[in-house]
Chains A and B, each alone.
Chain A
């Protein structure tokens, strides 16, 4: 990765702020880290622009979800009505047995599995195995689609039971409001991710990255996907288990 291929080779610059002292700059420990960070051209060596930008975007998106979850916890404390018992609300009756959180457990399993296939896809991408990369990415997208499908089932079941954003028969109105808002926003992220992964997978199949000799876009898509997965873990812990 050379951001500026036309920059002269080998004309080394000394440590910036003390041009009077041309002695070799330190390379180990904290001084070395500070030197690498503040050196010229790029702060993160060998990190392409797109990857850096995705990391920064994910940091920003982290704040979005943190605010959503903080808001949910805050209204859960301020509401005067009782909070519904989530393991009862999210239970399914299978073969006469009421199993708490079974659907959510399956959804979580599916989404975490999809992170596994995504990681394998990145691995095969760097081995330049076009077919396996694309197949694994499409598998990841299919897992994502399955997740969204199960979420649609969960939503319609709750709506049939009378849960609305403005109220529900089980207790505090904020339960439905937070549920639809947070899982909706996360589901939107998953849906966008499914589209994004499919597009990148098709580009892999078509050989776009073969020509440019660069498979970083697979890894960048993977970063986004793992993030969406990680966010789900927090939603699972704070909304469903609590």
Chain B
């Protein structure tokens, strides 16, 4: 009706000035690039922080300014930035923004203005976060989980201002993520093009869609715990603070519940793992199918696995708290639900492998990253089985085994997908290919390097080396050889860190100097490869919206000349393609 038509007309009104086109833009593609570049920028800061930490661990005392406080601050900021401000923002704000409207055949997000606000709130949260490096006392050093009472009692670094800025920044980030998430979910539910049914959506959209729902329902718990902790810190309330004596002084708090914070935090924190993992699952499914020229194996199963993982992720949170002193029956319940999640995740891994089976595998750079993701996720998932069981977790808890596990499963694995997805969709975003040789070099150093970093950490964990320690020299139970291993890990980590410059160089250099890509360099079938222009113009589709006739995985269809059938091809058109192919075969010179 009139309402919708008016909205349509407004959307097609293309902005002309530089400011409205690139800065205060409401176009989902520009917002996606703004989100991605900001996320990559803070991610680089977190990468440098991890390098500083590794220098201290591998070569103790080599950095003059590195004392215990600085180490904890670097560790806290590294973790928080990587999980929230890099991965969450990049998958939802970056890939979600860019791909959802293009893949479902919409002109933009349903509320472009709210979408723009989402980015500016995200940028504000990043600025507040980075401001904490410059306040008295520095950023918080409470560990990325921010457990009270230590995060707000004197003694931990950054309890003056750092923790306040961290909590305020998180609250602003949650507002941004909510505004974005509302847009992504509503767009997927209500703004698909003609013929784009839910069960024809590419798995990328399914993964980002489900992750956005998780974000909308899990971030409230973090928001509430941030508000409560701010009150504890600034107003002297006692939500999380029991009666304690700190530095010889009886504090004014009493009667609060530190474990309440842990429950609220992990009620957010565990779904957060899947907010990062589900988009990665979705994107990698499309990468594998496209570059193996084969339809995804068990599409319906893959969709239901994403939904099941999303639902289950809300009832497993206390497996992060086995050593917190809960009732043992809780451990029984949460171990059971945790191991049930292994069923849909294993199903996804099987389906990726079965998609590869007898496929026409092209070892392009995106495909290399996708294959690396499968093995890395498998390794991280298998160690998850150890940690999900209470009796195995207790001796391994707070050792480097845990560090290795979560870095493999939600650090390295999603980052590999980020790289693969950037190499894959870069031609659509810029119209040019990224350099293949540099990409392969970047891949091999990153892939082998991360295994050199994290495999030895499993072993260090078995040795009992505790995580989050600043120095390991004076502990009898840690053998001397552990130090050699730590030095080895540091060398590998610095190599991987520096090699990311290859990627950055490639990212910016190829935007100008890359080989022109054309509209569909990989032979993709989903809608984003069928846009009339590359990069797509404002409004994405020109005068007419595409009409979808088939699912997003018609690769290697027999009887026609090209090995893929785009989603926009109708059955009649496919029949014509078949006839043309058979005619040329009969009439051809063969």
> Which residues of A are in contact with B by a Cβ distance under 8 Å?
1-8, 11, 13, 16-17, 19, 37-44, 47-50, 52-53, 56-57, 59-61, 63-64, 66-68, 71, 74-75, 77-81, 165-166, 172-174, 176-177, 181, 185, 212-214, 216
Docked pose: A181 CA to B199 CA in angstroms = 44
> Within 8 Å CB of B194, what residues of A?
4, 7-8, 11, 13, 40-41
> Within 8 Å CB of B4, what residues of A?
1-5
The 9 A-B residue pairs whose C-beta atoms are closest, nearest first, are A79-B255, A7-B194, A63-B220, A177-B237, A166-B236, A67-B224, A16-B197, A38-B198, A78-B257
> Within 8 Å CB of B68, what residues of A?
none
The answer to whether A40 and B256 touch across the interface, beta carbons within 8 angstroms, is no
Q: How far is the CB of B184 from chain A (nearest CB, A)?
A: 10
The answer to whether B182 and A53 touch across the interface, beta carbons within 8 angstroms, is yes
A-B CB contact pairs (8 Å), 23 listed: A1-B3, A3-B190, A6-B544, A13-B194, A17-B199, A40-B197, A41-B192, A41-B196, A43-B189, A49-B111, A57-B178, A59-B217, A60-B182, A60-B216, A68-B224, A71-B225, A71-B228, A75-B256, A174-B255, A181-B227, A212-B6, A214-B1, A216-B3
The answer to whether B255 and A212 touch across the interface, beta carbons within 8 angstroms, is no
> Closest residue of chain A to B268, judged by CB?
A67
**B548 an interface residue at 8 Å Cβ cutoff?**
yes
Docked pose: A64 CA to B268 CA in angstroms = 11
**B563 an interface residue at 8 Å Cβ cutoff?**
no
Docked pose: A174 CA to B232 CA in angstroms = 11
Which residue of the partner chain, among B182, B185, B255, B299, contacts A81 with CB atoms under 8 Å? B255
The answer to whether A166 and B190 touch across the interface, beta carbons within 8 angstroms, is no
Docked pose: A2 CA to B422 CA in angstroms = 34
Which residue of the partner chain, among B196, B198, B219, B256, contacts A174 with CB atoms under 8 Å? B256
Q: How far is the CB of A223 from chain B (nearest CB, A)?
A: 14
The answer to whether B550 and A19 touch across the interface, beta carbons within 8 angstroms, is yes
Docked pose: A19 CA to B193 CA in angstroms = 18
Q: How far is the CB of A62 from chain B (nearest CB, A)?
A: 8
Q: How far is the CB of B181 from chain A (nearest CB, A)?
A: 8
Q: How far is the CB of B268 from chain A (nearest CB, A)?
A: 9
Docked pose: A189 CA to B196 CA in angstroms = 37
Beyond the given pairs A6-B544, A42-B192, A74-B263, 5 more chain A to chain B contacts, judged by CB atoms under 8 angstroms and listed by A's residue number, are A13-B548, A16-B198, A16-B200, A71-B239, A177-B237
> Closest residue of chain A to B232, judged by CB?
A177
> Within 8 Å CB of B267, what residues of A?
67
**B361 an interface residue at 8 Å Cβ cutoff?**
no
> Within 8 Å CB of B219, what residues of A?
60
A-contact bits for B1-26, CB 8 A (1 contact / 0 none): 11111101000000000000000000
A-contact bits for B442-466, CB 8 A (1 contact / 0 none): 0000000000000000000000000
| Contact A74/B223 with A6-B545, A56-B216 known, Cβ cut-off 8 Å | no
> Closest residue of chain B to A47, judged by CB?
B190
> Within 8 Å CB of A216, what residues of B?
3
The answer to whether B224 and A4 touch across the interface, beta carbons within 8 angstroms, is no
Docked pose: A225 CA to B340 CA in angstroms = 40
> Within 8 Å CB of B223, what residues of A?
64, 67
Docked pose: A176 CA to B236 CA in angstroms = 11
| Contact A56/B257 with A7-B193, A173-B237 known, Cβ cut-off 8 Å | no
Q: How far is the CB of A130 from chain B (nearest CB, A)?
A: 17
**B247 an interface residue at 8 Å Cβ cutoff?**
no
Docked pose: A13 CA to B549 CA in angstroms = 8
> Within 8 Å CB of A67, what residues of B?
220-221, 223-225, 264, 267
**B110 an interface residue at 8 Å Cβ cutoff?**
yes
**B403 an interface residue at 8 Å Cβ cutoff?**
no
> Closest residue of chain A to B193, judged by CB?
A4
The answer to whether B216 and A165 touch across the interface, beta carbons within 8 angstroms, is no
**B547 an interface residue at 8 Å Cβ cutoff?**
yes
> Within 8 Å CB of B255, what residues of A?
75, 78-81, 172-174
| Contact A41/B193 with A8-B547, A173-B254 known, Cβ cut-off 8 Å | yes
The answer to whether A2 and B1 touch across the interface, beta carbons within 8 angstroms, is yes
A-contact bits for B559-590, CB 8 A (1 contact / 0 none): 00000000000010000000000000000000
> Closest residue of chain B to A49, judged by CB?
B110
The answer to whether A52 and B220 touch across the interface, beta carbons within 8 angstroms, is no
> Within 8 Å CB of A40, what residues of B?
192-197, 200, 548
> Within 8 Å CB of B231, what residues of A?
165, 177, 181
Which residue of the partner chain, among B2, B237, B571, contacts A212 with CB atoms under 8 Å? B2
Docked pose: A49 CA to B114 CA in angstroms = 13
**B260 an interface residue at 8 Å Cβ cutoff?**
yes
Which residue of the partner chain, among B3, B5, B237, B545, contacts A48 with CB atoms under 8 Å? B3
Q: How far is the CB of B326 from chain A (nearest CB, A)?
A: 13
> Within 8 Å CB of B196, what residues of A?
40-41
The answer to whether B192 and A60 touch across the interface, beta carbons within 8 angstroms, is no
> Within 8 Å CB of A176, what residues of B?
237
> Within 8 Å CB of B178, what residues of A?
57, 60
Q: How far is the CB of A173 from chain B (nearest CB, A)?
A: 6
> Within 8 Å CB of B190, what residues of A?
3, 41-44, 47, 49, 52
> Within 8 Å CB of B64, what residues of A?
none
Docked pose: A71 CA to B217 CA in angstroms = 16
> Within 8 Å CB of B252, what residues of A?
166
Docked pose: A37 CA to B110 CA in angstroms = 19
Interface residues of B in 1-56 (CB under 8 A from A): 1-6, 8
> Closest residue of chain B to A9, judged by CB?
B194
The answer to whether B200 and A63 touch across the interface, beta carbons within 8 angstroms, is no
> Closest residue of chain B to A60, judged by CB?
B216
Interface residues of B in 240-264 (CB under 8 A from A): 242-243, 252, 254-257, 260, 263-264
The answer to whether A49 and B197 touch across the interface, beta carbons within 8 angstroms, is no
> Within 8 Å CB of B254, what residues of A?
79-81, 173
> Within 8 Å CB of A78, what residues of B?
242, 255-257, 260
Docked pose: A13 CA to B299 CA in angstroms = 20
> Closest residue of chain A to B238, judged by CB?
A173
> Within 8 Å CB of B480, what residues of A?
none
Q: How far is the CB of A16 from chain B (nearest CB, A)?
A: 4
**B191 an interface residue at 8 Å Cβ cutoff?**
yes
The answer to whether B198 and A43 touch across the interface, beta carbons within 8 angstroms, is yes
Docked pose: A172 CA to B242 CA in angstroms = 13
Which residue of the partner chain, among B111, B183, B220, contacts A64 with CB atoms under 8 Å? B220
> Within 8 Å CB of B238, what residues of A?
75, 79, 166, 173-174, 177
The answer to whether A63 and B256 touch across the interface, beta carbons within 8 angstroms, is no
